Amino acid sequence: MIAHRIVSTVPFSDQKPGTSGLRKKVTVFQQPHYLENFIQAIFDSLEGSARQTLVVGGDGRFFNRHAVQVILRMAAANGFERCLVGQCGLLSTPAASCVIRKYHAFGGLVLSASHNPGGPQEDFGIKYNIGNGGPAPENVTDAIYTRTGVIDSYRILSAPDVDIDSLGKRILGDMTVEVIDSVLDYVTLMQNLFDFDRIRDLFRSGFRMRFDAMNAVTGPYAREILEERLGAPVGTVMNAIPLEDFGGHHPDPNLVHACDLVQTLHGPDAPDFGAASDGDGDRNMILGRMSFVTPSDSLAVLAANAHLTPGYADGLAGVARSMPTSSAVDRVAREKRIDVHETPTGWKFFGNLLDSGAVTLCGEESFGTGSNHVREKDGVWAVLMWLNILAARRQSVSEILRSHWRCYGRNYYSRHDYEGIDSAAADAMMTHLRATVPGLADRMLGSFTVACGDDFSYTDPVDGSVSSRQGVRVIFTDGSRIIFRLSGTGTEGATLRVYVEKYEHDYMRHDQNTQESLAELVQLANKLAEIRERTGRTQPSVVT
């Protein structure tokens, strides 16, 4: 039975999907009809979805189970023929992408607020992924947003909750609900890309690692792959059980939030390799004994060594990085004579490049790395890629990193985040930067000379769509850069991100601490944006 309920409140004008879907406090999603309004707006914006398959799953955070049930009832009432749901409502973001592609689904709904904390007072989120398995492009998210403002009813089946905890098929109205193993399809894909025998030999030789699943969705994936299939000892995966509140932690794999893991890698008896992933499993952090690999360097190292893994043995068609990601990978691309594409922040911009075959690997400075195997960034994939390379080269993480810098030079790189600043002040700062930065061309700033300054705009080479105002850049004549942009994923106030990069050709002669080598550029950034005057902050909240 389909109930057509009229939305009783004003349409929700704040339902604007950001860099990765709609992300709000759980309490916002709990407002009457809020969730349903957004889901219906998504369904209304899709063309040709009747009698199609939808994939549903999330990172297991608070509200995940409730949202899955609402989505199932609404999908049934909106004419879908089949819903594939991860067991217990769980699917990591890359696994959802894998399942959408493998079963030729029309699209999927992924429930997550990524690395943001979870729990009744914390964050929830919904992203819609299209049939290629990737995040909806801007024309789709814009259509969804427009629809949220005019919608006046939604379709939902009145039916009891569906059992999503045991595998198998159920019937819901005219729709079949198929509860699938959350990890199996993903594991099969990984086995096709990497040399599991070789990695197993590495573990057998005494190589030790720790994977921190941060009580988020990757626990079951990492356990199955690392401990079951690759023979790593039980206990290799830490915080392996997904919890609704992630154990009260920020499931954000960086030096601040994964500090236990970082300490383990710096302690006595440290293992050889450490890695962590985020809430929904699309991010990764890579650590060696006493060393940290910046995501930008990781992308460059993976590009330089991809041929050592079976899935990429034939070489790379091209690479792509988001604009604020350091240009370390550009140097690898130049040497390999392949194209490098520079895109705005957000994985959705890689979709067309991957679909068209223009690029094989891509990455972002924000701990995101991936390839054409799915259409999302993929944390566990990045860890396996590193493991395969380590197994092939039989060198330590820091040896691999140093030899990379010797060969290509080093891009010192850091991101400074100012979280929870006043939104109006943040907007005014960006307006000020947009007005002043273009005029800096050819000026000397300290020991640097400005080559040019602009607000980054991107034209998609495949569909010609233009995305403007993607970040203010100051580019110096030696290739150093300062970039300013506001986050699209925060849920409180505004977050300013300042990205600073400096290239050192002769790394051996100038081996320095990252923050020291960037100190002058950081000072320049503070001055150009008038950060202290405009935000009252003297220090960033997070430095990576």
The answer to the question of residue 37 lying near ligand VG1 (CB under 6 A) is no
Q: Regarding beta strands 494-504 and 481-486, do their DSSP bridges make them parallel or antiparallel, or are they unpaired? A: antiparallel
- Within positions 364 to 393, which residues make up the interface with ligand VG1, using CB under 6 A? 364, 366, 368
Q: H helices within 196-258, ranges in order?
A: 196-204, 218-222
Cα–Cα–Cα angle for 254, 193, 200, nearest 5°? 80
Contact region with Co ion (CB under 5 A), list: 26-34, 282-290, 354-362, 498-506: 282-290
The answer to the question of residue 365 lying near Co ion (CB under 5 A) is no
The answer to the question of residue 349 lying near ligand VG1 (CB under 6 A) is no
Backbone angles phi, psi at 212, to 5 degrees: -100, 110
Q: Tell me whether residue 284 or residue 305 sits nearer to ligand VG1 (CB atom).
A: 284
Q: Is 91 helix (H, G, I), strand (E, B) or coil?
A: coil
Nearest distance from C-beta of residue 52 to ligand VG1, angstroms: 25
The answer to the question of residue 493 lying near ligand VG1 (CB under 6 A) is no
Q: How far apart are the first and last CA of the chain?
A: 52
- Within positions 433 to 492, which residues make up the interface with ligand VG1, using CB under 6 A? 487-489
Concerning whether 114 is annotated as a catalytic residue, the answer is: yes
The answer to the question of residue 97 lying near Co ion (CB under 5 A) is no
Are 521 and 482 contacting, i.e. CB atoms less than 8 angstroms apart?
Answer: yes
Q: How many of the other CB atoms lie within 10 Å of CB of 450?
A: 20
Q: State the binding partner of 141 from Co ion, ligand VG1, none, CB within 5 to 8 A by kind.
A: none
- Nearest CA among 217, 30, 14, 186 for reference residue 113: 217
Query: What string marks each residue from 56 to 95 as x (binds ligand VG1 by CB under 6 A) or -?
Result: ----------------------------------------
The answer to the question of residue 347 lying near ligand VG1 (CB under 6 A) is yes
Alpha-carbon separation of residue 209 from 197, 283, 285, 322 (angstroms) = 17, 18, 13, 29
Out of 114, 298, 414, 517, pick the active-site residue.
114
Q: H helices within 78-123, ranges in order?
A: 93-102
Q: Tell me the helices (H) and strands (E) count for the chain, helix number first.
A: 17, 27
The answer to the question of residue 114 lying near Co ion (CB under 5 A) is yes
Q: State the binding partner of 347 from ligand VG1, Co ion, none, CB within 5 to 8 A by kind.
A: ligand VG1
Looking at 73, 416, 497, 502, which residue binds ligand VG1 (CB under 6 A)? 497
Query: What string marks each residue from 258 to 297 as x (binds ligand VG1 by CB under 6 A) or -?
Result: --------------------x---xx--------------
The answer to the question of residue 309 lying near ligand VG1 (CB under 6 A) is no
Are 279 and 246 contacting, i.e. CB atoms less than 8 angstroms apart?
Answer: yes
Alpha-carbon separation of residue 94 from 74, 280, 290, 334, 377 (angstroms) = 24, 8, 29, 29, 7
- Report the interface residues with Co ion, using CB under 5 A: 114, 278, 280, 282-283
Residues that are catalytic:
114
- Report the interface residues with ligand VG1, using CB under 6 A: 19-20, 114-115, 278, 282-283, 322, 345-347, 364, 366, 368, 487-489, 497
